[in-house]
């Protein structure tokens, strides 16, 4: 296996763990909140899921920088200026800042959850899509729309599942 | 015994916070001064083979030497220790803004 | 670029990212309800060692190769600001990192046991850890831009 293939496999594993962790973390959190509180067992499961999510993030970020080095060493430096890449980096920065704010309890959970989910799926989509020629700000605009949509969806899901107003 | 240990720890942290402040102020000053007064930059380059190495070496010497020396002067007061850490934060912010602002100014307004 | 320079640059980048991750975890753990002191000691130590290593390897690459081989190309190219602003800022502000990381490490190692109950100290430490993290992340992003301009 050459370095490029190794980076792709490792990066995808990181993304899978992260996106999966964020998704199932959200689902489990919702289920745990059905009775209005998170009991110790539920807390433990959530802890494990968020640990896996962080490992995924670490793998994705480190391999991401591995790609950057590959571009540098193979004469593909212009790829480092790709607006799609910078939009993805911005989304990742939002993701980690959001996680920190959640930990500090400085962000309401409805916003924190939405940012987390949108950021993970946004980074996934930005990593996969090809052949789109938007500017950095256009990508961010779509991301913001995504955040608003996810806030709406999560709000609806909570109302239906948890019976909240 | 516990109190003495605690005081020594506070002194150590305070002294290195102070030396960190001085080192960061030096780096900021040396960076901006070196660009405005080329003989200083040339002196660093001639003495240390590269101006950047010179700034780094002097900063580290300041940090560790002053940190060690300040220990004997520092009081083991916890409030002072906490204040020094906060000052370190703010000095770093100012240093970052000063260096960034200087190079932006140099490029966009002077160039 | 020689193989050894590629290795130095690779170590600089990857260990820098590890430093960022360690600083991030330090900050995250400072806000946990139950402070994991042992983990904090490990993460602060890793961050410090990582930044020192990144400093040495990056410094070697910068002094030996960047100045004569990359800088002229960037300055004469379409984006001279990448060197004149981004690189100049990066090379000087980077010097703050090992200093700040050492202070964070010192506080955690010497007062780790007291951080749980001493909220004032914890908050002051968190400020220093936060600015360390912000600087480290900026360094990484600056490095990306610089590499992108190097043709």
Gap from B73 CA to chain C (nearest CA, Å): 18
CB contact under 8 A, C21 and A61: yes
**CA–CA gap between residue B11 and residue B24 (Å, rounded):** 20
Q: Looking at the 3D structure of chain B, how many domains does it have?
A: 1
CB contact under 8 A, A77 and C32: no
In this complex, the chains that touch B, judged by 3 or more CB pairs closer than 8 A, are C
Q: Does B have 3 or more CB contacts under 8 Å with A?
A: no
Q: Tell me the CA distances in angstroms from C144 to A124, C86, C140, C150, one per residue in order.
A: 20, 10, 6, 10
Q: What is the pLDDT of residue C14?
A: 95
Chains B–C, number of C-beta pairs less than 8 Å apart? 96
Q: What is the pLDDT of residues C30-54, one digit of tens each?
A: 999 999 999 999 999 999 999 999 9
DSSP label of A39: -
Provide the domain limits for residue B56.
2-110
Tokens of A73: 């060493």
Which domains does chain C show, CATH number per domain?
A: 3-149 (1.20.120)
Percent of chain A with pLDDT over 90: 77
Number of H helices, E strands in chain B: 4, 0
In this complex, the chains that touch A, judged by 3 or more CB pairs closer than 8 A, are C
Q: What is the pLDDT of residue A11?
A: 96
**CA–CA gap between residue A126 and residue A136 (Å, rounded):** 11
C95 → closest Cβ in B27, B85, B107: B27
Query: In chain C, what residues touch B23 (CB-CB under 8 Å)?
Result: 99
Environment class of C70 (CB within 10 Å of its CB; exposed 0-12, middle 13-18, buried 19+): buried
ipTM attached to this prediction: 0.94
Environment class of B56 (CB within 10 Å of its CB; exposed 0-12, middle 13-18, buried 19+): buried
Q: What is the pLDDT of residue C110?
A: 96
Q: What is the pLDDT of residue A165?
A: 46
Q: What is the mean pLDDT of each run of 10 residues along chain A (165 residues)?
A: 92 96 92 87 91 93 94 91 94 94 92 94 94 93 97 92 70
Percent of chain C with pLDDT over 70: 100
CB contact under 8 A, C103 and B13: yes
Question: pTM of the entire structure?
Answer: 0.94
DSSP label of C69: I
Tokens of C55: 């400093």
Around B102, how many Cα atoms within 13 Å sit in the side-chain half-sphere? 19
C100 → closest Cβ in B20, B49, B52: B20
Query: In chain C, what residues touch A105 (CB-CB under 8 Å)?
Result: 31
Residue ranges of chain C with per-residue pLDDT less than 50 = none
Structure confidence at residue B35 as a pLDDT band (50, 70, 90)? very high
How many residues are recorded in chain C?
Answer: 151
- Report the pLDDT averaged over residues B61-74: 94
**Residue found by looking up tokens 């980096």 in the block:** A89
CB contact under 8 A, C63 and B95: no
In this complex, the chains that touch C, judged by 3 or more CB pairs closer than 8 A, are A, B
Q: What is the pLDDT of residue A164?
A: 56
Q: What is the pLDDT of residue A65?
A: 94
């Amino acid at each position: 296996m050459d370095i490029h293939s190794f980076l792709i496999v490792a990066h995808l594993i990181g993304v899978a763990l992260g996106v999966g962790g964020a998704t199932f973390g959200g689902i489990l959190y919702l289920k745990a909140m059905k009775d209005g509180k998170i009991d110790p067992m539920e807390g433990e499961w959530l802890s494990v899921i968020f640990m896996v999510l962080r490992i995924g993030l670490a793998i994705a970020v480190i391999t991401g920088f591995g790609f950057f080095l590959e571009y540098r060493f193979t004469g593909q430096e212009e790829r480092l200026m790709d607006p799609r890449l910078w939009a993805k980096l911005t989304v990742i920065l939002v993701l980690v800042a959001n996680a920190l704010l959640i930990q500090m309890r400085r962000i309401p959970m409805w916003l924190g959850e939405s940012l987390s989910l949108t950021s993970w799926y946004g980074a996934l989509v930005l990593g996969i899509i090809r052949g789109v020629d938007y500017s950095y700000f256009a990508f961010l605009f779509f991301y913001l729309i995504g955040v608003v949509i996810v806030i709406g969806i999560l709000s609806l899901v909570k109302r239906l599942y948890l019976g909240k107003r | 015994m516990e109190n003495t240990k605690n005081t020594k720890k506070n002194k150590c942290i305070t002294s290195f916070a102070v030396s960190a402040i001085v080192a960061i102020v030096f780096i900021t000053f040396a960076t901006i001064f070196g660009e405005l007064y080329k003989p200083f930059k040339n002196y660093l380059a001639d003495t240390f083979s590269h101006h950047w190495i010179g700034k780094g070496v002097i900063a580290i010497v300041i940090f560790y030497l002053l940190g060690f020396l300040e220990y004997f002067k520092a009081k083991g007061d916890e409030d002072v220790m906490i204040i020094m850490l906060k000052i370190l934060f703010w000095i770093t912010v100012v240093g970052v803004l000063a260096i960034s602002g200087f190079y932006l100014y140099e490029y966009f307004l002077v160039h | 670029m020689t193989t050894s320079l590629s290795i130095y640059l690779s170590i600089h980048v990857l260990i820098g990212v590890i430093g960022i991750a360690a600083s991030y975890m330090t900050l995250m753990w400072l806000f946990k309800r139950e402070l994991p002191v042992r983990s904090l000691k490990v993460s602060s130590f890793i961050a410090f060692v990582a930044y020192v290593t990144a400093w040495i390897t990056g410094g070697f690459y910068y002094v030996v190769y960047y100045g004569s081989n990359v800088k002229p190309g960037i300055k004469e190219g379409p984006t001279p600001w990448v060197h004149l602003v981004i690189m100049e800022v990066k090379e000087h502000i980077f010097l703050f990192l090992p200093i700040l990381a050492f202070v964070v490490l010192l506080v955690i190692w010497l007062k780790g046991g007291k951080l749980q109950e001493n909220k004032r100290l914890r908050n002051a430490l968190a400020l220093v850890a936060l600015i360390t993290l912000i600087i480290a992340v900026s360094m990484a992003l600056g490095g990306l831009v610089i590499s992108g301009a190097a043709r």
